[in-house]
Structure 1
Amino acid sequence: MEVLVSVAGLDTSNSAGVTLDVRIFRLFGFHGVCAVTAITYQNSCGIEGMKAIEAEHLEMQLKSIFEDFNVKGIKVGIVVTEKQAELLKEFLKNFEGLKVLDPILVSSTGYKFAEPEIYEGLFNVVDAITPNVKEAEVFSGERISSVEDAKRAAKKIAEKFGCSVVITGKDIGGIDVIYDGDFHEIKAEVGEKEVHGTGCVYSSALLANISLGKNIVDAARYARLTTLESAKRAKKVGRCLLFVDPPFAFD
């Protein structure tokens, strides 16, 4: 059985991060494994704190995984320290499989994870990145209030860093913008409620579908469909945000 790896944070509420990523990988027929970059202390109302995993311990996790498993692809989520980023850059550079990076700067409740520079050093060693509109503004230096703005930002990021860019477009009318040398748009229904975990679902589903042999545009369509279905099924578990509830299978 082929394996996908999530390199990301551990969410104590089990509604994002590595535990959600591996669930999405399994949905598409892969066994998911993980290497944890940080332990977050959070619930449905927000993040109360975070402990970064030392780079040497992150390296040991990755070494353990790659000594045994047939790894098809890697999804990277939160990266917290410069030492983690340096380690991952060398590791990803030498990994010949598929690589997707979700450059999470700030949580949905406003908790700051990392500086933009931490991620920018990784952009040129991955196949695709999946910033939301606010993140794309930071990485491009462009203000984004329309699809055309998003296209300009995506192209600027791609040309600067040498990776495909998928800007998830909840804030621009639900249109995802892809630049892989050409522009593509995916119009999608977007729910009105704030649901925790949608970004993790999207990036994990994107990696899974690219790993199944789909091109990035078709993979992004499946990623959006998976995210929409997971958000539609969202459950109120705690007092505040709803949690995504991915399906166990698609009909």
Structure 2
Amino acid sequence: MSVTPKTALTIAGSDSGGGAGIQADLRTFFACGVHGMTAVTAVTVQNSLGVQGFTEIPPDVVSAQIKAVADDMGVDAAKTGMLATAEIITAVASALDEVHIGRDADVPFVVDPVAASMTGDALLREEALEAIRTELFPRATLVTPNLDEVRLLTGVEVTGRDSQRDAARALLDLGPMWALVKGGHLYDDPECVDLLSDGIQHIELTGRRMDTEHTHGGGDTLASAITASLAKGLGVPDAVDEGKRFIERCVAEAYPLGKGVGPVSPFWRLG
């Protein structure tokens, strides 16, 4: 009989184009060797050109999905993506407490505070930002915002490595154990440095900057790869380093699809 793999739960929105959201999370979990489970928060109308609209799932249904899989299968690590509304965020926080997921329950919980798509389309109602700050960040093992999300959540404008540290401090003040301030959008920095910090340790993770426009789902894929490594028992610094190396290859292997921005590809792990 096969050995049962570790389990990872994604609480996020569905991308009809398959490049980001829950679809990216599940294919990353598979490529990283963990069993993926889902709690769908919203259904987007989306393709390579952008998001044309989305419909939220009722908060009680989101909560019920989390409890159904956690009570039966167990969760070794969990992550969030698109949460859409303050009501959904409140329901998620309550459900996580009920099933003992989060930093205080010793089940790693990664918050990827998705606020907008890479084409700038809003994926989060404005009132939900405060709910992320007050209800999710204090429960988080790790938060992984991009630079636009850092600015929206903390007011810190990241322009270089020094301000990455300012951003990390501001994020940690909101309650997570660790903050990852990604440098992918610091286009003048050829080393593409991500800063991981718990307030004491400040770890700079360098990587190659790839010459490609096809980066759809990159943030989701990185957060999912980190979550998979946490599910398998790695500590946060090692899990983030694994995730960084994974997404670097995914971007290198990204492919064109549709008329716009193609997705990053985890298929390299399968070949």
Q: Distance in 2 between matches of 1:72 and 1:248?
A: 25
How many residues were matched structurally?
251
User: Are 2:130 and 1:117 equivalent residues in the alignment?
Assistant: yes
Change (3 A) 1:162 1:231: closer
1:33-79 per-residue CA deviation (whole Å, 9 max, x = no partner) reads 11100000011001100001010111221222123202101111011
1:195-223 per-residue CA deviation (whole Å, 9 max, x = no partner) reads 10100110001111122222222211211
In the other structure, the counterpart of 1:176 is 194
Report the TM-score, using the length of structure 1 for normalisation: 0.94
Percent of counterpart pairs with the same letter?
26
Answer yes or no: is the 8 Å Cα contact 1:79–1:119 preserved in 2: no
User: Are 2:250 and 1:234 equivalent residues in the alignment?
Assistant: no
SS at match of 1:65: helix
Q: 1:32: Cα distance to partner? A: 0.3
Match of 1:204 among 224, 238, 244: 224
SS at match of 1:63: helix
Q: 1:248: Cα distance to partner? A: 5.6
Q: Distance in 1 between matches of 2:177 and 2:237?
A: 14
Gaps of 5+ in 2: none
User: Which amino acid is the alignment partner of residue 79 of structure 2?
Assistant: K
In the other structure, the counterpart of 2:155 is 141
Match of 1:101 among 111, 115, 127: 111
Change (3 A) 1:62 1:162: closer
Gaps of 5+ in 1: none
Q: 1:12: Cα distance to partner? A: 0.3
Change (3 A) 1:240 1:30: same
Answer yes or no: is the 8 Å Cα contact 1:101–1:129 preserved in 2: yes
Answer yes or no: is the 8 Å Cα contact 1:229–1:247 preserved in 2: no
Tell me the C-alpha RMSD between the 2 structures: 1.6
Q: Distance in 2 between matches of 1:153 and 1:54?
A: 33
Match of 1:158 among 166, 172, 175: 172
Q: Distance in 2 between matches of 1:42 and 1:233?
A: 22
In the other structure, the counterpart of 1:49 is 53
More strand by share: 1
In the other structure, the counterpart of 2:238 is 218
